[in-house]
């Protein structure tokens, strides 16, 4: 069975080249063709010579996510891409979503790391669709390459905030970081990459050590999906937090900063009346003083799923947007009064279900009305 060359690191490609051709440096030429020039076929890698091309084609191929649909926002310049990834060993086909967010001076790709998600956050459409599989390294990085090719935009930033929990596909996520930042490849600065997680015991500490072990990824930013400062509420909306208590997560974040000196971001979806109490504000102020950080406050984007306690207040009811916005700005103002670095994260792509928590594939085998081009 042929293997996808996009899954291999530079060192691994050098080993392959040495084995097939006797010249390891051909692996460097192959890596540059794959990750700097984004060559689509082995025969297109002219620099390595016909003999090696033929040998490679017997065992390997270059496989990228196949674009099925591009949906354009009418409200802003956001685009959502529907990709079909390679079938699994049973022949099952899967779809994922990737988002390009255009802002002044930056083009950010929001990449997915799983088909679905096995965290099951109550407020997230991806979590509601369940988990199917982890994405391979090739399936992660080719989202970036394909978005760049289709959109014609230079990619300036990457956030691992699409479908799935990056830390539950840890090895492939980490390897993809090393490939995307490599000087002989895309050469994206690690300062322009953020990895988001809900937090898992020992994983944040491990992440700190792993990024420190490679100078090209040492400045990758970490974002914690916090969403509530109350253990009970957080456990009811983020099931995995029952085994990953906030106190433990805070300790791990302190360790992360002490080792990397990288500023931490807290992601905080605003649920009016649930996580904007005076006690919440006091706890957020205390949290903000533990390590240098910023808090990104995100408007809640309703999803087409039944929500459970405490979010069931939103089921079957029209949210008063004006009142919700008023409470949102009050929360931000109170935090700023306490000298907390807080930002309102814009809701790019809401009209095409591309905003935070909205990515989902309701049917893995067909394109549904949910994915109609706007």
Could you tell me which of 139, 154, 150, 180 has the C-alpha nearest to residue 67?
A: 150
Question: Exactly one of 97, 122, 139, 165 is catalytic; which is it?
Answer: 97
* Encoded tokens for 73: 């926002």
β 79-85/94-103 pair status? antiparallel
Tell me if residue 356 is catalytic. Answer: yes
31-34 long-range contacts (CB < 8 A, ≥24 apart) are 31/182, 31/184, 31/185, 32/184, 32/185, 34/5, 34/6, 34/62, 34/185
Q: What share of the chain is helix, strand, coil (3-state, %, to 5)?
A: 40, 20, 40
Contact 83, 96 (CB under 8 A): yes
Identify the active-site residue in 121, 124, 293, 356: 356
Q: How many whole angstroms separate alpha carbon 204 and alpha carbon 249?
A: 8
Quote the strand ranges of 169-326, DSSP E. 193-197, 221-225, 264-270, 293-299
Q: Which of 253, 318, 235 is nearest to 289 (CA)?
A: 253
Question: Smallest Cα–Cα separation from 220: which of 187, 183, 194, 245?
Answer: 194
Catalytic amino acids?
97, 356
């Amino acid at each position: 069975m042929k293997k996808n060359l996009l899954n291999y690191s530079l060192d691994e490609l050098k080993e392959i080249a040495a084995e097939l051709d006797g010249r390891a440096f051909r692996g460097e030429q192959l890596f540059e063709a794959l990750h700097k020039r984004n060559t689509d076929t082995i025969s297109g890698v002219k620099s390595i010579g016909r003999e090696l091309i033929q040998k490679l084609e017997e065992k390997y191929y270059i496989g990228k996510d196949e674009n099925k649909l591009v949906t354009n926002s009418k409200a802003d310049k956001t685009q959502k891409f529907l990709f079909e990834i390679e079938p699994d060993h049973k022949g099952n086909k899967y779809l994922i979503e990737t988002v390009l967010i255009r802002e002044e001076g930056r083009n950010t790709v929001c990449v997915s790391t799983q088909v679905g998600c096995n965290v099951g956050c109550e407020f997230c459409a991806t979590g509601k669709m369940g988990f199917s599989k982890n994405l391979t390294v090739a399936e992660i990085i080719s989202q970036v390459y394909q978005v760049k090719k289709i959109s014609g935009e230079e990619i300036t930033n990457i956030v691992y905030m699409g479908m799935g929990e990056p830390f539950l596909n840890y090895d492939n996520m980490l390897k993809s970081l090393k490939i995307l930042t490599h000087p002989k490849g895309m050469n994206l600065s690690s300062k322009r990459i953020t990895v988001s997680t809900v937090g898992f015991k020992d994983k944040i500490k491990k992440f700190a050590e792993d990024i420190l072990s490679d100078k090209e990824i040492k400045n990758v930013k970490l974002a914690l999906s916090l969403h509530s400062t109350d253990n009970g509420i957080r456990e009811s909306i983020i099931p995995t937090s029952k085994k990953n208590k906030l106190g433990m997560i805070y300790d791990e974040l302190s360790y992360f900063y002490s080792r990397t000196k990288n500023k931490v971001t807290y992601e905080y979806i605003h649920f009016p009346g649930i996580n904007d109490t005076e006690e919440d504000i006091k706890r957020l102020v205390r949290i903000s003083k533990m390590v240098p950080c910023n808090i990104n406050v995100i408007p809640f984007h309703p999803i087409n799923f039944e929500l459970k306690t405490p979010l069931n207040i939103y089921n079957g009811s029209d949210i008063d947007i004006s009142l919700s916005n008023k409470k949102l700005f009050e929360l931000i103002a109170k935090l700023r009064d306490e000298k907390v670095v807080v930002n309102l994260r814009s809701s790019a792509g809401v009209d095409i279900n591309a905003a935070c928590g909205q990515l989902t594939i309701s049917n893995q085998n067909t394109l549904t009305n949910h994915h109609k081009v706007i």
